[in-house]
Amino acid sequence: MMTLERVVAVLEPTDVLGRAPVGLRDLAYDTRALSQGSLFFCVRGAHVDGHDLAGEAIERGAVALVVEHPVEARVPQLVVPSTRAAMAVAADEFFGRPTEELQVAGVTGTNGKTTTAFLLFAILAAAGRRPGLLGTIEARVGGERRGVVHTTPEAIDLQRTFREMLDAGDRSVAMEASSHASTMRRLDRVRFAALVFTNLTQDHLDFHGSMDEYFEAKRRLFLETRPPAAINVGNPYGRRLADERPDALTFGDGGELGPEALEGIDLKLRGRFNIDNALGAFAAGRLLGIDDDAIARGLESVRGVPGRFESIDEGQPFAVIVDYAHTPDALANVLRAARGLGEGRVICVFGAGGDRDREKRPQMGRAVSENADVAIVTSDNPRSEDPRAIIDAVVAGTSGEVEVESDRAAAIARAVELARDGDVVVIAGKGHEPGQQFADRTLPFDDREAARDALRKART
């Protein structure tokens, strides 16, 4: 338990209203997750302002509030410039500064975060570092697999998870560090023992507004606390970052670690882009003081990552690949890699997500037209948008042979129907995701299962 006085000392609020000795049993930012004796952070969200929920929070057990402006309340209030920033500082303190003990290996960038984190996890395991995992697909705490909501959780959830990892026997963690988490201050007070920059290409401009702001969200992670850094200088933004971190270990084209570093390593992951992912993990391993033999064993142990260039095999005479690629650059990279898997055509099923960066939609269409022989445009996660409007925006960037089928399962079945011996079918955009998000519901849907179903039906 922590006292409110201790929180005051740590946060140094601009004002304290109704100060009283209060014992705090937990921290919360969501009224649905409140327990008796909690300190509640009134966070401004995209749809709800936590300040408007102060009364509900108190009814549910909050004994004090952290606010950006005073509210009507019968409990003490700590007034701070940013409740998000304060939340990260308080969470770190409340859970005993877990990343002072837990060795954190982080990965940030547009593409490759998940695969690089999985490779890093394997390297840490091979080196006997007893790792946890935290990212887009899953969390692993003490060997237990858990589902995830955000790639990088809110600060309270993040620091709580770090503490649970330590308590469960983990001594390190491989984690994805998203740009949203950086901007929203979730990663403040995370002490990175190594941080990898994979690349930066267009994505998330609905949130960041511009590529410069998107880059800044990544950049601050490397410059504010200057953790040991591994940077891909084969990417223009990586080169910009490396200029500001001349002490970083560079990898990729023109870097200190090039593809030759992987010679003699039996890397199971296919695709040129996975060479960069492996080099990023290799570089992080070096920064963590892991010997090259353990790094090699870790890299060789990874046979695949769910939904990342994942092969679906039902005995068909053509290849079927499911991948999470949902940016123009990622689509181009995956399709180029797919070209090497067969002698025939590349058939791509893809769409674009709703309520996300609209500028990239025609660019995604262009990337597929330029790198595939047949494009089948379908629905991805339309969320609150009209699926047909999203499809039209994607089709606007295409050229050549294009089919449109808004029903994703039918689009996948159509690709299987078109495929002949030696072709390669790429189903892109959702990867490991188990559902399809609409405005009012999320329906169970897995590209991998849809592909298997289509392949089995095609046999009968």
CATH number (domain holding residue 176)? 3.40.1190.10
Question: pLDDT at position 361, please?
Answer: 97
Instruction: Indicate whether 266 and 326 sit together in one domain.
Output: no
Instruction: Indicate whether 146 and 247 sit together in one domain.
Output: yes
Instruction: Indicate whether 293 and 345 sit together in one domain.
Output: no
Instruction: Indicate whether 335 and 438 sit together in one domain.
Output: yes
Residues 342-376 pLDDT 10s: 999 999 999 999 999 999 999 999 999 999 999 99
Instruction: Indicate whether 86 and 107 sit together in one domain.
Output: no
Instruction: Indicate whether 292 and 148 sit together in one domain.
Output: yes
Boundary (domain end) residue, out of 69, 94, 119: 94
The rounded distance, in Å, linking the Cα atoms of 186 and 192 is 13
- What single letter denotes the amino acid at residue 57? A
Instruction: Indicate whether 18 and 110 sit together in one domain.
Output: no
CB within 8 Å of 243: residues ≥ 6 apart: none
Question: pLDDT at position 280, please?
Answer: 98
Question: pLDDT at position 178, please?
Answer: 94
Q: Which residues of the chain have pLDDT under 50?
A: none
Instruction: Indicate whether 451 and 314 sit together in one domain.
Output: yes
Question: pLDDT at position 197, please?
Answer: 98
Q: What is the DSSP code string of 244-289?
A: H-TTSEEESTTSSB-GGGGTT------SHHHHHHHHHHHHHHHHTT
CATH of the domain at 85: 3.40.1390.10
Instruction: Indicate whether 262 and 352 sit together in one domain.
Output: no
Question: pLDDT at position 205, please?
Answer: 74
Instruction: Indicate whether 270 and 381 sit together in one domain.
Output: no
Instruction: Indicate whether 282 and 314 sit together in one domain.
Output: no
Residue numbers of the domain that contains 51: 2-94
Boundary (domain end) residue, out of 277, 301, 325: 301
Number of domains, the chain: 3
106: left (phi over 0), alpha (psi -120 to 50) or beta: beta
Residues 106-145 pLDDT 10s: 999 999 999 999 999 999 999 999 999 999 999 999 999 9
Boundary (domain end) residue, out of 239, 269, 301: 301
